[in-house]
Every structure is written in structure tokens, then in C-alpha cells.
Amino acid sequence: MRKMLFLATTILAAALYSAFANAEQKEVTVWSWFVQSTMEKSIAAFEKAHPDIKVKYTYYNYSPEYITALKAAAASGSLPDVIGLQPGSLTQQYRENLEAVNERAAKQWGDKWAEKIFPVNRKQMLMGNPKGDENYYIIPQESQVLCIWYNRKIFEKLNLSPPKTYADLKAAAKALTDGGYIPMFQGAADGWQNENVFLMLANQFSPGIVDKAQAGESPWTAPELVAAMKAWKGLFDDGIFQQGALGAHAYPTGAQLFAQGKVGMMALGSWWMQESKFPPPLSEFVQNMEGFDFFYMPPVKDGNSASPPVGGIDIGYGLTKNGGKNPEAWTFLAEFTNGVGLQEALNDLNDLPAFDGNAPKGDITDHVKDMSARFMADLPKAENQRFASPAVAEALDNALAGVAAGSTEPEAALAAVQAASEKALAAK
Amino acid sequence: MRAGTAVQAAKRRSASKASTVYLFALPATLLFVVFIAYPILWVAGESLYTGTADGRAVFAGFANYTTILSDPTFWIVVRNMVLWGIITIPVQMLIGGLLAYFIERHTHALRGFFRTMFFLPVVTSVSVISLVWVQIYAPYYGIAQEYLKHVGIVMMTSPIGDPKTAIYALIVVNIWQWTGFSMLMYIAGIANLPSEVLDAARIDGARGWRLGVHVIVPMLSPATKSLLLLGVIGTLQTFPIVHLMTGGGPNRASEVFGTFIFKQSFVLGDTASGAALSVIVLVIALVLSLVQIALLGARLSPAGKDEP
């Protein structure tokens, strides 16, 4: 009997202690599609710096899981405190469920906090806001710059150098094909990769023209965009992209082949550097990024310059209305986007910072440091990569696929994008 | 007086029995109302409203329906769904039926092995299937190309990358995945065939083709009807293979109802037109199911036996 009483008392005491300990530790809930291994490092660093706060992270694949989970949670008022966002359409879909962060950010980082964010990111943070709404609903964590990566070991083996002209690009693609390699892998079944290449081309013909078209200041059927669309078709017809690109996906197929040294070039972005921080075994090309370097799309027409850097926010986070009631949620968001959490992500080479003054630290080779510095030097002058309206992005995806497949002419395809753009602008 | 009491007691017992019956039906009814009826009504209600720029919902009547019906993509989807149904359902039934027949009649020691092998795609993750088939279809570096090059064939394009062939390429994958299910249904049907009928047919001289076509196939009609009904519903529910392999592209050439609803609701954020599309699909599914039940009858168990 005495033993039973002792056991019961011990269990009760343990339960009470556990309940007390849990009551002491506050919780922040976070949803995102952000790489889980890197997120875990960021959360561990945050929890170490804030031992009284526990972060409960839920990882989702972006599509369809994440965007459907957000929609369901928003409809039922059960969004977590902090959610991963992309600027423009995704942020705008949940604007009603998000807190404006201006005041909190000013208190945290000073009145001129926004100036610490790279210009292209700042522009994207306001994309799609109703006229006159200067509030920020997203805090960017990471930035990216789009580029053409190439396998420098294969290039060396075939006596190739980074192309400076379109003729060089065609010659490199031919040499790669003849050498048994995939010339430039394009996952043209993925709208995002097609958009990225088109943005490189369009900004080469006229920097900022896609932004003007989005804003209704220039038609989508402008000669520069038609020329860019024709150049896009040329990449398929001239053997720059691999055969059957329209049925291929950039991830995981293209990325795996590229990492294995079976592909000469691939249009990706600064995030490609993170491959070198993935768990081993890593290929000889991916190890410390030894096999890779990047260039910007060479001029596809006489008189053009090489594509300017295009990019912006890779991923950002928003404070939901639920998170607004939880003071620890902002503490996490601030540390995660411009503090200890961000530093861990940068050390993992996840991508470039969105706030100026941050840089990766730790075990990083000179080659990676050099590439990172080149990206960082280009980021302040990057052209916008994002779309304010998902309907316009969708219309452009369809136009690009139609033109690439030869089922639509560039002019007609862009006229369809213009129609979608007019509809979206009218609805605003 | 006594007779009156007995009648009243009988009435009380009957009422009590009825209330017990309703009590047993209550959990299922509640689940149906909460998880099926309410969401359907909610979606139907949503389809009559439209969102404004400032986030308000305003009554739009049938405007979402007319917008959807006048969208050319809707008619591409209808064409794709018709192709999907009229190709996959009979082909799956034919191959599944033949597999079931040969496995049940002509294999002995390896029967379990063959059943498992042909059923394996049904229980394999759709993500894995999609990844593998994208690699199979890839020209130049793909799996099929590796074999085809030995006979001098070079694939110039991927079947899922060509708007003209994308939907057929997806249909092939769907048939590959689901034929094992048809086989299983027919195996259940064959296992339940009364041996005395087959023996009688053999005594009467029915053999081989004649036995199969005139005796076995008609006796398997309940399984066939079930597969037809499930096939039509499955066609309307198609989503993961298309989403993962082509995303409905290129240029919407392989769009199906599932991917179209997903894009409208979650990618474009237009939940109103997504809801209208969902209601249209629901009505189509309901009409097709009722037509099938009316034409084919409701005896749909694989064994085809009447309730005792």
C-alpha cells in the first residue's frame, strides 16, 4: 500500500512538473516548404538564443500540400503564427489573414529598416498591394539571382569557355551534345523554370519591360517581348535545350543529372550552391561546388547585352493574425529573417540574404565565397523576377509552353497574356 | 381492456424499436452530414459568389458557371476526360480480365507471385510511378530510349511534352497502374463462379473461346459493371498522375477536372470558379452513376450473388 502511494505521488509530481515546465515555455507555430534540414538548424539556433520559446515547425511540399493546407487553415481561422510566403500573388491571397509588419519592424531594426533590404526585394514586398496600401505583409528571408550554371570540369574537358555570344552558346551546346552530354537542361514542364529563362531574355531586350507590362504601362505584345518569345523558341530549335525538354522537370530529374555531371548547363539560380551542403555522398562536381560556376545568358541578338541579373525574394515569411496575438511569434520572425536563424540558413548556403550586411560563415571554400560575392554584388541591381498576378503568370506559362511546342505563334501567345493582364488589372 | 393494453404495449415496443434503429443510424448519418452533405452545400453556395479586390464576397448568381462554360480550357478538359474514360476503362478491363483468367486457370505454384506482381503498381506511390514514367518517356537520356536505341529508334520528343500526345501518354501510365485492380476484381469473380455451371457447360461441349465468351464473361458481368462504375468515378477524380507528370500542360493540353479545379482554386486563388467547377463535376458524376445504375442494374458485387 505504501509502495502504491509512493508511486502515485511520484507520477503526480512528474505530471505537475511537466505541466509547469510546458507552461513556462511559450510556443511559436510555423509552416513552410523551406528545406527541412536547414530549417532545423535555424530553429535550433533560435531556441538556443531564446530558451523560453519552443518552435513547432511543420514542413510541407509546396504544391499541392502547402498551398492547399494554407487555404484550408485560412478558411477555418487556424493558420499558424508564422507562414512561409512568396511575394506577389501568394502573399496577396492571404493579405487579409496577415498582420502589417511595418511598426514591429521599425521597433526591431529602426525607422530605416526597409533600406537594409535590397531594392528588388523591397519592390516585391509591395507587389499586388491595393493602391495606397504601403504596408508590408511579408518579411523576406532570402534572395536569389537567376543565372546559367555550367559544369566547368566538362567545359574544360571539351575546351569550352563560358559563352559570350549566342554563337558561342550554340557551339557549346553542339560540342556538349557531340560529347554525349545534355547541353542545357530545361525542365520545361515546370512553368517556373520557363518564366525564369524568359525573364532573362526579355530583360536583355529591354530591362524592366516585364514589370512595365505587368503594370499595364507597356503591352505584352511589345516588339521587345515578341523578340524575346522568338528567342525562347530558338533555344529549343537551335539545340540549346535538350530534346524533349517540354516533358522534363527541373527537380528532381534535371538537378540530379546536373549534379551527376551528365549536363553541361542549366538555368537555375544562386540557390544551386546549397547542393554542396546536402548530406553525403556528393558527386565530385557538387563537393564544394568544385564542378560549377555561372554566367548570365549571352546576347541572343546582335546589339543586345548579356542578360542583366534577374531575381529577388527566394522566400519570405508573414505574421498571421493569430501570430499577431503571440508576442514570441514576432521574436522568431525577426531572428529568422535577420538574426541567428538567418545566419544558420546562410551558413548552409541555402541562398543569399534579403537584408544587406549578412554573409555566410564557417566551412566554405574560396571558390564558393567568390561566387557568393559575385551574386551579392549583382543583387542590388537585379531586375524583378516575380509576378503580381497568378493569372498573368499562368497565362505566360501557357504561352511559353505553346510557343515551345510550336502550337502557338509568339504574337498570338503574348496576346493571350495581354488579355489575362488586362483582366487582372481591371479586377484590381 | 386487455386487448387495448396489448395493442398499446405493441405500439410502445414498435416505437422503441424504431428509435433504436434510428439511434444506430445516427453515427453514420452524422458523419455523412458533417463530411459529405455540408461540404457539398458549402461549395455549392460558394459557387454563387465572387470575390472583390477588397476581399468581400458578392452574390454573382450563375456568373461563375457561365464563365467556366465559356472558357476554352473547360472543353479541352471535357475532351480529355472523355478520352480518358473511353480508353482506360475498357483497356483495363480487357487486360485485367485476361490476366485474371490466365493466372487463375493456367498458373498453380506461382499464382500468388503473379497476382502480387500485377497488383504491385496499384499499391505503389503515385509520386514514384510519376517519377519513373517521366524518366521512361524522356528522350535522349530516358529509360525507353536506352532500349529503343538498340533497334535504331531515336525518340525526338517526350510524349508528355507534345500537346498532341500528352494525354495519351498519361492514359498509358494510368492503365499500367490500375490494370492490377481490374485483375483483382475478376479474380474474385472467377473464384466465385459456380463449378457445377462450368462443368455442365463443358459436358455440353463448351471449350476454350466458347466457354470463355458465352459462359465465363456473362457470369462475370457483376464485376464488369462494378469496374465500369468505379472507372467512370475514377476518371472524374483523376489528379495526381497528371499533376505530377505534366501539371496539365503543355499549354493545358493534358488538363483534367482535378488539375483544373486545383489551379483555379489554389494557384489562381479563384475559389468561386473552382467551386463552380466542382459542382459541375459532381453533377456529371451523379448523372453518369444514375444512368449506369438504371441501365446496368445495381448488382455490382464481384461475386454477383443476390442478398439472402
Domain check: are B26 and B110 in the same one?
no
What was the pLDDT predicted at A415? Answer: 97
Contact between chains at B158 and A249 (C-beta distance less than 8 A): no
What was the pLDDT predicted at A350? Answer: 82
Domain check: are B119 and B21 in the same one?
no
DSSP helix/strand/coil, B101: helix
Q: Is A428's Cβ below 8 Å from some Cβ in B?
A: yes
**What homologous superfamily does CATH list for A26-143+312-379?**
Periplasmic binding protein-like II (3.40.190.10)
Nearest-CB residue to A248 (from B158, B247, B267): B158
pLDDT tens for residues B91-123? Answer: 999 999 999 989 988 888 888 999 999 999 999
Q: Are A421 and A214 in contact (CB under 8 A)?
A: yes
pLDDT tens for residues B202-216? Answer: 888 888 788 888 888
Residues of B in contact with A399 (CB under 8 A): 251
d(CA B100, CA B107): 10
Give the residue on A whose Cα is nearest the Cα of B159: A247
Contact between chains at B160 and A397 (C-beta distance less than 8 A): no
Contact between chains at A64 and B156 (C-beta distance less than 8 A): no
Provide the shortest C-alpha distance from residue B24 to chain A (in Å): 31
Q: Are B270 and B218 in contact (CB under 8 A)?
A: no
What was the pLDDT predicted at B307? Answer: 43
Domain check: are B87 and B216 in the same one?
yes
pLDDT tens for residues B273-296? Answer: 999 999 999 999 999 988 988 887
Domain check: are B16 and B125 in the same one?
no
Nine cell digits for residue B156:
525526338
- Classify residue B301: in a domain, yes or no: no
Q: Are B204 and B283 in contact (CB under 8 A)?
A: no
Domains in chain B, number: 2
A:101-120 residues touching chain B, CB 8 A cutoff = none
Contact between chains at B134 and A253 (C-beta distance less than 8 A): yes
Q: Are A137 and A333 in contact (CB under 8 A)?
A: no
Domain check: are B187 and B111 in the same one?
yes
B306 pLDDT higher than 70: no
d(CA A396, CA A398): 5
Domain check: are B136 and B265 in the same one?
yes
What was the pLDDT predicted at A151? Answer: 98
Which residues of B fall below an 8 Å CB-CB distance to A?
53-55, 131, 134-135, 137-142, 155-163, 166, 243, 245-247, 249-253, 262-263, 265-271
What was the pLDDT predicted at A10? Answer: 61
Task: Pick out chain A residues at pLDDT < 50.
Answer: none
CB pairs under 8 A between A and B: 113
d(CA A359, CA A370): 12
DSSP state letter for B247 = T
What was the pLDDT predicted at B140? Answer: 74
The CA-atom distances, in angstroms, between A186 and each of A242, A246, A247 are 7, 8, 9
Nine cell digits for residue B119:
497488383
Q: Are B221 and B244 in contact (CB under 8 A)?
A: no
pLDDT tens for residues B236-263? Answer: 999 999 999 999 989 899 999 999 999 9
Average pLDDT, chain B: 88
Phi and psi at residue B147, in whole multiples of 5°?
A: -80, -40
Q: Which of the four pLDDT bands, split at 50, 70 and 90, describes residue B308?
A: very low
Q: Is A425's Cβ below 8 Å from some Cβ in B?
A: no
Range of the domain at B195: 73-296
Contact between chains at B53 and A257 (C-beta distance less than 8 A): no
Q: Is A287's Cβ below 8 Å from some Cβ in B?
A: no
Domain check: are B119 and B165 in the same one?
yes
Contact between chains at B137 and A246 (C-beta distance less than 8 A): no
Comparing C-alpha atoms, which of A65, A37, A41 is closest to residue A336?
Answer: A41
Domain ranges of chain A: 26-143+312-379, 144-310+385-427
Contact between chains at B247 and A130 (C-beta distance less than 8 A): no
B21 pLDDT higher than 90: no
Q: Residue B132 CB: number of other CB atoms within 10 A?
A: 13
Domain check: are B147 and B25 in the same one?
no
Residue listed under C-alpha cell 493602391: A131
Which domain CATH number covers B269? 1.10.3720.10
Higher-confidence residue: B18 or A322?
A: A322
For helices B72-106 and B166-191, give the axis angle rounded to 10 degrees. 40
Cα within 13 Å of Cα(B130), Cβ side:
17
Residue A3 burial (10 A CB sphere; 0-12, 13-18, 19+): exposed
Domain check: are B137 and B272 in the same one?
yes
What was the pLDDT predicted at B197? Answer: 86
Q: Are B245 and B177 in contact (CB under 8 A)?
A: no
Contact between chains at A247 and B53 (C-beta distance less than 8 A): no
- Classify residue B47: in a domain, yes or no: no
Q: Which of A91, A243, A251 to mutate to test the interface with B (most CBs of B within 10 A)?
A: A243
Q: Which of B251, B254, B263, B278 to mutate to test the interface with A (most CBs of A within 10 A)?
A: B251
Contact between chains at A189 and B250 (C-beta distance less than 8 A): yes
Q: Are A197 and A186 in contact (CB under 8 A)?
A: yes
Q: Residue B96 CB: number of other CB atoms within 10 A?
A: 24
d(CA B156, CA B140): 8
Nearest-CB residue to A130 (from B54, B157, B160): B54
Provide the shortest C-alpha distance from residue A243 to chain B (in Å): 6
Residues of B in contact with A61 (CB under 8 A): none
Provide the shortest C-alpha distance from residue B294 to chain A (in Å): 37
CATH architecture label of A144-310+385-427: 3-Layer(aba) Sandwich (3.40)
pLDDT tens for residues B52-82? Answer: 766 678 898 899 999 999 999 999 999 999 9
What was the pLDDT predicted at A239? Answer: 95
d(CA A289, CA A368): 7
- Classify residue B50: in a domain, yes or no: no
What was the pLDDT predicted at A16? Answer: 53
Cα within 13 Å of Cα(A100), Cβ side:
9
- Classify residue B304: in a domain, yes or no: no
Q: Residue B52 CB: number of other CB atoms within 10 A?
A: 10
Provide the shortest C-alpha distance from residue A223 to chain B (in Å): 23
B193 pLDDT higher than 90: no
Q: Are A58 and A80 in contact (CB under 8 A)?
A: yes
Domain check: are B184 and B282 in the same one?
yes
Q: What is the mean pLDDT of residues B16-26?
A: 84
Provide the shortest C-alpha distance from residue B227 to chain A (in Å): 29
Residues of B in contact with A262 (CB under 8 A): 141
Q: Is A64's Cβ below 8 Å from some Cβ in B?
A: yes
Domain check: are B232 and B157 in the same one?
yes
d(CA A386, CA A311): 8
Domain check: are B219 and B292 in the same one?
yes
